[in-house]
Amino acid sequence: MTHPAPSIVWFRSDLRLADNPALTRAVEAGRPIIPVFILDDEAPGRYRPGGATRWWLHYSLRALADSLAGKGARLILRRGPAETELPRLVKETGAGAIFWNRLYEPWANERDARIKTELRQRGCEVESFNARLLAEPWVPKTGGGEPYRVFTPFWKALVALGEPEPPLPAPPRIEAGPAVAGDELEDWALTPSAPDWAGGLRESWTPGETGALGRLDAFLDGDIATYKDARNRPDKPATSRLSPHLRWGEVSPRQIWHAVRHRIEAAGGGAESSAWSFLRELGWREFSYHLLYWWPDLPERTWKEQFLDFPWAEDEAGYRAWTKGQTGYPMVDAGIRELWHTGWMHNRARMIAASFLVKDLLIPWQKGERWFWDTLVDADLANNAASWQWVAGCGADAAPYFRIFNPLTQGRKFDPNGDYVRRWIPELARLPDAHIHAPWAAPQQTLDAAGVRLGETYPVPIVDHQAARKRALEAFERIKKQA
């Protein structure tokens, strides 16, 4: 009896069984299935997952392998350039078809196009799908057929496309393909060992599809109701924290969209505006992918040409203090320390910390972007690049350059009782609310009573914000004159 040629499902940033069109298509094709994940460390540095996302990947792959095993299939792990590994796997298994879900990072995009051509030439059926976005990044276009440069009209165009396709259910069963050799996950050493810096990450997250759906459910049962008003408060657990799950595609934006819409309908009336404010943030994610698609050098190159000549400063000591959460500005330092501990930082804190790096220290945004790439569990090429450029003032639809975040007033407004600062900077915990965001201005007696010794237990500010602001505005005036 001859066996039918198996199908390969190539998992990449879609580590889930539900709403996975490539997997569903393979099951519908009715042939045995070989699921594979390839660790492609040949990717240029900029695309290679950083330390925190590699940690996440380890657990997410383990969860995926378990779910696949529960359905009857075995996840094959391979390491090497996908352009070599995939054709090799086709040859070894006699696969007649390959299915995958699309990536939008420029390097992966080009590579996948080459792989598709080569495998088709060899007579293999190759099909790819959208599983990562609500709409393909090339679909929303202005009336003049141009890409959008401003978020609000982009968002309106996205909503006008209508509801995204309903999510697909996970297949009930997967027929396993022939046995194939693969790597052991432990041998990839994706998790740190000496030193093991991942204790805080383990405490904070449950990577994998079940963890992602649990997080979504918990958010829909609770914080979404107050999201609109509380989303800017880093002291409250008010946002979804779905970003790292979205990074590896353990849940899809379509699943999130429909789950939210379903709850809105079930709840009626009041919940609607808060839920829309949440969906709009998913819209920012789509906008980042739209920008990356049309401007593939977004992660490297300043989007607004005018900023190409910006007089950035070399400030290695300032950069080091920033990365350690030792700038002397509690709101900046709390954000960075939250990142060190959990691999995640609240969006408001990201904006404050990023603004401090590029405006108070005049350090190029690319340097902060690279550091976030290595430390964030949700490090995402499109979101990270677009957000850094937005904060720096050189990106699409960015705030005007002269709007410089003041860490003190931001702290007082968005962490009014100092709970966020106290949580991440225990050495300031005993300062009264009135001084928690500006220890440098507290009376000596107050500092003594709280056990704070400036310059010893907590730094004095490494720059004076008002002077730094003036310096940044002068630098901006210089490029404005040249433009």
- Residue ranges for the known binding site for FAD are 227, 239-243, 278, 378-380
Do 254 and 164 touch, CB atoms closer than 8 A? yes
Residue 136 annotated as catalytic: no
* Selected catalytic residue, list 303, 365, 390, 424: 365
Residue 390 annotated as catalytic: no
Mutual orientation of helices 365-375 and 51-71 as an angle, nearest 10°? Answer: 40
* Selected catalytic residue, list 107, 276, 284, 294: 284
Q: Which is nearer to ligand FAD, 354 or 421 (CB)?
A: 354
Region at 418 (left for phi over 0; alpha for psi -120 to 50; beta for the rest): left
How far apart are the C-alpha atoms of 295 and 287, rounded to whole Å? Answer: 12
Q: Which is nearer to ligand FAD, 68 or 379 (CB)?
A: 379
Q: Which is nearer to ligand FAD, 65 or 385 (CB)?
A: 385
Instruction: For residue 98, give the H/E element and its range.
Output: strand 97-101
Kindly tell me the burial class for residue 280, based on how many C-beta atoms sit within 10 Å of its own C-beta (0-12, 13-18, 19 or more): middle
Residue 388 annotated as catalytic: yes
* Selected catalytic residue, list 281, 340, 427, 440: 281
Tokens of 34: 């070989």
Provide the annotated binding site.
227, 239-243, 278, 378-380
CB < 8 Å & 24+ apart, contacts of 471-476:
471/362, 472/359, 472/360, 472/362, 472/404, 473/401, 473/402, 473/404, 475/310, 475/311, 475/362, 476/310, 476/393, 476/401, 476/402
For residue 290, the minimal CB distance to ligand FAD (Å) is: 11
Q: Which residue has the tokens 């432990």?
A: 186
Residue 56 annotated as catalytic: no
For residue 124, the minimal CB distance to ligand FAD (Å) is: 34
20 alpha-carbon distance from chain centroid: 20
Q: Which residues bind ligand FAD (CB under 6 A)?
A: 231, 239-243, 246, 281-282, 284-285, 288, 347, 350-351, 354, 372, 376, 378-380, 383-384, 387-388, 391
For residue 239, the minimal CB distance to ligand FAD (Å) is: 3
How far apart are the C-alpha atoms of 182 and 461, rounded to whole Å? Answer: 52
* Selected catalytic residue, list 10, 155, 322, 388: 388
Residue 281 annotated as catalytic: yes
Residue 365 annotated as catalytic: yes
For residue 103, the minimal CB distance to ligand FAD (Å) is: 15
For residue 17, the minimal CB distance to ligand FAD (Å) is: 21
Q: Which is nearer to ligand FAD, 343 or 418 (CB)?
A: 343
Q: Active-site residues: which are they? A: 281, 284, 312, 347, 365, 388
